[in-house]
Amino acid sequence: MTMKWLLALSLGLALSASSAFAQDHTRPACSGRYDTVRTDAIKPGKLEEFLKAVRDHQAWYTARGRKDRIMVGRIVDRDHGGFSETTAYSFHIDDDPAELPHDASWNAFVAEYKDSSQITSEALICMAPAPEPDGAPAH
Across all residues in the chain, what is the average pLDDT? 82
- Tell me the CATH number at 107: 3.30.70.100
Q: Is residue 4 domain-resident?
A: no
Alpha carbons 55 and 69: distance in angstroms, whole number: 10
Alpha carbons 113 and 49: distance in angstroms, whole number: 8
pLDDT digits (tens, 9 = 90+) for 71-106: 999 999 988 889 999 999 999 998 887 889 999 999
Segment 2-21 shows an average pLDDT of 37
Q: Is residue 1 domain-resident?
A: no
Q: Is residue 110 domain-resident?
A: yes
Q: Is residue 81 domain-resident?
A: yes
If one counts the domains in the chain, the total is: 1
pLDDT greater than 90 at residue 133: no
Question: Domain limits at 82?
Answer: 31-127
pTM for the model:
0.72
pLDDT computed for residue 13 by the predictor: 36
Contact 97, 27 (CB under 8 A): yes
Segment 17-35 shows an average pLDDT of 66
What SS3 class is residue 123? Answer: strand
